[in-house]
Amino acid sequence: MKSAEIREAFLRFFEEKGHTRVASSSLIPANDPTLLFTNAGMNQFKDCFLGLEKRAYTRATTSQKCVRAGGKHNDLENVGYTARHHTFFEMLGNFSFGDYFKRDAITYAWEFLTSPKWLKLPAEKLWVTVYASDDEAYDIWTRTVGVPAERMVRIGDNKGAPYASDNFWAMGDTGPCGPCTEIFYDHGPEIWGGPPGSAEEDGDRYIEIWNNVFMQFNRTADGVLHPLPAPSVDTGMGLERISAVLQHVHSNYEIDLFQNLLAASAQAIGCANDGAPSLKVVADHIRSCSFLIADGVTPSNEGRGYVLRRIIRRACRHGNKLGARGTFFHKIVGALAAEMGDAYPELRQQRAQIERVLKNEEEQFAKTLEQGLKILEQDLAGLAAKVIPGDVVFKLYDTYGFPADLTADIARERDLTIDEEGFEREMQAQRERARSASAFGLDYNSLVKVDADTLFTGYEETFGQGQVVALFKGGATVERLGEGEEGVVVLDRTPFYAESGGQVGDCGYLSDASGVRFDVRDTTKVGGAHLHHGVVAKGGLHVGQALEAQVDGSVRGATALNHSATHLLHAALRRVLGEHVQQKGSLVNSQRLRFDFSHFEALTTEQIKALEALVNTEIRKNTAVETEVIDIDSAKKKGAMALFGEKYGDNVRVLSMGDFSIELCGGIHARRTGDIGLFKIVGEGGVAAGVRRIEAVTGAGALDYLNAAEEQLKEVAGLLKGSRDNLLDKLAGLLERNRQLEKELEQLKAKAASAAGDDLAGSAIEVAGVKVLSARLDGLDGKALLALVDQLKNKLGSAVILLGGEFDGKVVLVAGVTQDMIGKLKAGDLMKQAAAVVGGKGGGRPDMAQGGGSEAGKLDEALALVRPFVERAL
Ligand code: SER
């Protein structure tokens, strides 16, 4: 069976068992700061297990994109060297949220694997592990399913702490967890390795293919296990591993999917396709890198971007080891898109972007690699021990961009290891330095915790009544806020929009009939509560008080126009630049809008014009801006653009401007596109590798911008004594005239210098038969002084000359010695001494030298040097 057929069979099997087929979620976990990348099928259901989220189904099945290259589950180091580890893999899973539990989970798995209708695996090839104390699972396996005791293994806490076990699965240090039962496949005695739990278990003979987790607990940061609201099931089977079993190969790299990727990798590198570990590394890494970029990650020096950078660099280095010349990695994307693009269309849509990001990163890395390798070689040459010290690893990381695992990789090839602890110590020290450098005050509002939800009434109105349900001062809850005090007010209902989705929070004021007033400077959100931040301008506030809430309508109105224009711009960008454009961030306030998006190069003037034209056309169509709240699947069917990494509930607010723009959005918008009036881009630039930023203005703001530009033009015209119509001619004429004047000035200066030269020649004195001359000439530049020295040399015969002066606030010095004298004294030496006096430097040839300094007050002292200099030399 092909991998694609196995994926489909799995999903279909569980659909037949009443499961809902759910799409893979993004590799960037939605709103989960505890997780670097999606690393298991259960991630997108975390809140369902915890009982925080209810869905329309209690059984689900997925084929989930996973990356395990950082955080708790990290396989990066093993990739290429074992038959079964990957940075990217697909996990087939079935899930029960408080529905079925151990018995069904076990029997479903067994049926799918062994039934003649499905995978038809021989039962005697399968081994099973259970958590040591899980008698219930053990009994189901042995009594109901009939697995003989000799192929059952109980595994306890074999990782040095309670619940730290191969058979107790946890998503991370916190979150859902529980005991598990794993199914292993015996690849046969010709492969080295022993059954799970034995001393040889790390061999490749017995491979775990399916993990069934009985989710029972939520582990909190203090290490305590709290029972989940309902026992649940989370299973995961690596598609690559089960494909290897069904395709009768023992390494994942021999399955259909990898055969093509390995061939494409060898071709891109220009090496033989001979199963070298490095080739496997490249074929593996192209998957994680491409999928991560498709999901919006770009290489950077921190967080997810840094992990991506590390993987790309590791791939590059392994390619280089195989003899790759120049860039090669991005050339494999096409083969990947062909192989997996049916199941994951984003690979085809984003292909150009993925290729560009990879190529750029490859080019950058080529520069640092060469230098870093040299340094490493030097350090290794002087190394007596078998461990590369932590400070060397850190230096390579910090100065040459060498990820520590890359250094570890190189070390491994030479039977060396790296001092990981030492490296971590250096890293920690650097973090401390960074922290102390950027220590700023604590934001007390981040401490505010509110249980109550605020009812938001602001889509329809900017005015409303509300009652104070909580007050905060300095992050602590208080009963009252007095006049002049700053704090946070929470109302039971409010028209104030709280900052989110890039749109800033509303400002305005809260008041009552008695004259109390609280000026709201900003509104934010914690949980479901809207926090009005500001200061009591008059009177006092107390919990329970009834207030009238008035949003500043003009600020809100201008903000709404910018928000709607942001949607039009987003849609226009995808039309003008391509489907690879993804939103990377946005900021919408009353002044302007800022939109960050993935794109690899600076926009051309034509592209910017095309964007403006397209957005303004949509504005002139005056389309109604419509919102509807529908379920997420219908929204997706409508083609609504959603943000990667953003978490949406079952029901979402869809905002449409005709067919041109359909996006999920909770923000405040214009009623019709025509309200925007005018859209004008005022800035375009890069913010990070592969991310561009556009800034724009709309409505009255756009008019202000154009008026200001026009004012400036008028002023310029006034200065040029012209009008807008003849401005360019006037300016060109002025520049030409300026050039002429500069030329004339040069000529005049030369003439003046020549005349001055005649005068100066007369002031030379004679020292031991040589003419010695020093003079101060302010206002001449170095070039003019050089010409003068030349001229004086001709006039004076045997001579030593030092001229100096102030020019543009600095001291300029030129020294000259005639040819017949350079055997005895040199202009360069004279200049060194003279320049040092004026606090600068100088030097040159024996017959002519130039220098300067900053201390004009000492110029005369410097010029006086020449006579003693000559006397000493002769
Ligand atoms: N979450 C478990 C795992 O990743 C089973 O899906 O192994």
Q: Bigger pLDDT: 384 or 459?
A: 459
CA distance 565 to 750: 61
Residue range 761-873, CATH number: 3.10.310.40
Asked whether 196 lines ligand 1 (CB < 6 A), one says no
Please state which architecture CATH assigns to domain 556-707.
2-Layer Sandwich (3.30)
Q: Which two tokens stand for residue 508?
A: 């305005």
CA distance 563 to 710: 26
Same-fold call for 455-551 versus 556-707: no
> What's the mean pLDDT in 16-35?
86
Report CA(189)–ligand 1 centroid distance (Å): 28
Q: Is residue 115 within 8 Å of 106, Cβ to Cβ?
A: no
Give the HSE-up count for residue 757: Cα atoms under 13 Å, Cβ half-sphere: 20
Report CA(72)–ligand 1 centroid distance (Å): 13
Is the pLDDT reported for residue 444 higher than 50? Answer: no
Topology (CATH level 3) of domain 455-551: Elongation Factor Tu (Ef-tu); domain 3 (2.40.30)
User: CA separation (Å) from 120 to 61, 210, 238?
Assistant: 21, 15, 17
Residue 373 has a pLDDT of: 79
pLDDT band at 305 (very low <50, low <70, confident <90, very high): confident
Is the pLDDT reported for residue 554 higher than 70? Answer: yes
Asked whether 182 lines ligand 1 (CB < 6 A), one says no
CA distance 545 to 295: 47
**C-alpha R_g of the chain:** 37
- Choice from 89, 180, 182 to test ligand 1 binding pocket (greatest atom count within 8 A of CB): 180
Is the pLDDT reported for residue 77 higher than 80? Answer: no
570 C-beta neighbours (distance < 10 Å), count: 20
Q: Which two tokens stand for residue 24?
A: 């893979």
Is the pLDDT reported for residue 613 higher than 90? Answer: yes
> What's the mean pLDDT in 261-278?
95
pLDDT tens track for 130-170: 999 999 999 999 999 999 999 999 999 988 888 999 999 99
Report CA(164)–ligand 1 centroid distance (Å): 15
The answer to whether the annotation marks 665 as part of a ligand binding site is yes
- Choice from 91, 183, 184 to test ligand 1 binding pocket (greatest atom count within 8 A of CB): 91
Domain ranges of the chain: 3-251, 255-380, 383-436, 455-551, 556-707, 761-873
Beta bridge partners of 244: none
Average pLDDT over the chain, rounded to whole?
Answer: 90
pLDDT band at 440 (very low <50, low <70, confident <90, very high): very low
- Choice from 67, 235, 240 to test ligand 1 binding pocket (greatest atom count within 8 A of CB): 235
pLDDT tens track for 752-810: 877 877 888 888 999 988 999 999 988 888 888 998 899 899 988 899 999 999 998 89
Q: Bigger pLDDT: 250 or 552?
A: 552
Asked whether 39 lines ligand 1 (CB < 6 A), one says no
CA distance 825 to 580: 70
pLDDT tens track for 572-589: 999 999 988 989 889 999
Topology (CATH level 3) of domain 3-251: BirA Bifunctional Protein; domain 2 (3.30.930)
pLDDT band at 439 (very low <50, low <70, confident <90, very high): very low
| Helix, coil or strand: residue 782 | helix
CA distance 500 to 152: 53
Residue 333 has a pLDDT of: 97
Give the nearest ligand 1 atom to 73 CA.
Answer: 4
CA distance 558 to 699: 7
Q: Where are the alpha helices (DSSP H) in 382-419?
A: 390-400, 404-413
CA distance 699 to 561: 7
Q: Bigger pLDDT: 452 or 1?
A: 1
239-246 and 256-269 helices, crossing angle to 10°: 100
User: CA separation (Å) from 740 to 120, 729, 744, 784?
Assistant: 92, 17, 6, 19
The residue contributing the CA closest to ligand 1 atom 1 is 40
